[in-house]
Amino acid sequence: MREECGVFGICHNNLKNEIAQLSYLGLFALQHRGQESAGIAVSSGKNILVYRDLGLVGEVFKEGILSTLQGIASIGHVRYSAASLNSWQNSQPILQEFAGGSFALAHNGHLTNQSELRTIFGLSDQNFHNCPTDSHLICKLIQTTREKNMEKALEKIIPQLKGAFCLTILTEGKLIGLRDAQGFHPLVLGRLGDGYALASEDCAFSIIGAQYLREVQPGEMIVIENNRYRTKQILAGNKKALCIFEHVYFARPDSNVFEENVAEIRERIGRRLAQEQPAEADMVICVPDSGRFAALGYAHEANILYQEGLLKNNYIGRTYIQPNQKLREYTVKIKLSAIAGIVAGKRIVMVDDSIVRGTTSRNLVKLLKNAGAKEVHVRISSPPVNYSCHYDIATPAREELWTNRFSLDKLRQWLEADSLGYISLKGLTGVFQKNKPADFCTACFSGEYPV
């Protein structure tokens, strides 16, 4: 029931006609966090309307739909179903009733104690099985409290949830934002005129002209109502477990995640990678787009020419989403092509952010060699992904992860690369300035699961 998603929220008493448009723009900026479905819920102050469907934000919200969604507050969601079905039913925001009226909920994360929750809250078989995702389960738990006040309902259920969750919740009169005690995934607060906004990443604020204020703290609940916000720490500040993969791959480079700019961090990772894994080469190229800033850092540090040797077709979604291996290999080729005029006859360092199943790197080495590259040295700006993620980044089961089955040299041979080098875990966690190595969840690399 794993979800890799983007959430958004806005509350502003005087933007009636624009509230849904602003959510739409916010979701547009968060599109990289999920491309399977999109939805917006708007509260008029008296009732809540939701529109959601499968597809990209621009496909779901055709002309005319947004103007029907008017109100004082809104939440939005983009979804990539890492484990559960990509069906309309699973798209969000979810609209439900509770003792205090209607509410809508948007969720990013993955709970690790579903069956324990079922027992604690005494859910019947039928109720439990009617929850196709963790997000539905959270809604069901809110209902079971029978509380009329959403804040009180949340204070009862949230301390029982284990795992990763960032929530935006809309009631008829309030917008609420919440982040789990370890702060796995990011959630930030911004100001727009007299109102406030919440988003998974602050790239959603720049697009709507909102000003970044601060992160929602791990375990903090923020309640926005009547153009004011109040805050309550509802979970004890545990040891943090910030998802390092947000910086490696998932977040947008112009975002500030865990208070550090993603592009800058990736550049530093690339520099560190060049120190740890040097190569004799004529040029450094990136795997667009997620490898770009690390490749730039590598080139700057190694003093090797940076070039764009692979061209990305921007009109297809993330290839990783394709369901089976055969399709995945095919889509890598539609997505990326080698620029022969640039790479032919050259010794190339190709930098990507990660190897998961190895499909991307293997296909790209082939593409580059077919385009005449003399040597291809693969450099990866994260350590080997050895373990699957329990907190929602869509890594496959352990058996599918290359590094578990083969040695580094076996993998290099399979990739047909001239050399292969990963950054070390110490190197990766050492590039941050505001966050200590121990603040991160590195379970996908180390197998040390914080929850």
Which residue in 172, 1, 161 sits closest to 74, CA to CA? 172
Q: What is the smallest separation between the CB atom of 340 and ligand AMP, expressed in angstroms? A: 21
Q: What is the smallest separation between the CB atom of 384 and ligand AMP, expressed in angstroms? A: 11
Kindly tell me which of 57 and 223 has the beta carbon lying closer to ligand AMP: 57
Rounded CA-CA distance 71/41 in Å is 10
Kindly tell me which of 1 and 356 has the beta carbon lying closer to ligand AMP: 356
Q: What is the smallest separation between the CB atom of 13 and ligand AMP, expressed in angstroms? A: 38
Which of 5, 166, 243, 444 does the annotation list as catalytic? 5
Residue where the block lists tokens 């603040």: 439
5 is catalytic: yes
Q: What is the smallest separation between the CB atom of 321 and ligand AMP, expressed in angstroms? A: 7
Find the length of the chain. Answer: 451
Rounded CA-CA distance 15/23 in Å is 12
User: Kindly report the CA angle at 199 between 138 and 248, in degrees rounded to 5?
Assistant: 95
Q: What is the smallest separation between the CB atom of 32 and ligand AMP, expressed in angstroms? A: 10
Residues at the contact surface with ligand AMP, assessed by CB under 6 A:
249, 287, 290, 318, 320, 352-360, 393-394
Rounded CA-CA distance 418/429 in Å is 27
User: Kindly report the CA angle at 98 between 96 and 102, in degrees rounded to 5?
Assistant: 50
Kindly tell me which of 220 and 246 has the beta carbon lying closer to ligand AMP: 246
Kindly tell me which of 358 and 437 has the beta carbon lying closer to ligand AMP: 358
Kindly tell me which of 36 and 202 has the beta carbon lying closer to ligand AMP: 36
Task: Provide the strand spans (E) within 201-324.
Answer: 211-215, 220-225, 228-233, 242-243, 256-257, 260-261, 283-286, 305-306, 310-312
Residue where the block lists tokens 């006040």: 149
Two structure tokens written together for 287 = 């795997």
Q: Please check whether residue 180 is in contact with residue 239, taking contact to mean a CB–CB distance below 8 angstroms.
A: no
Catalytic site residues? Answer: 5
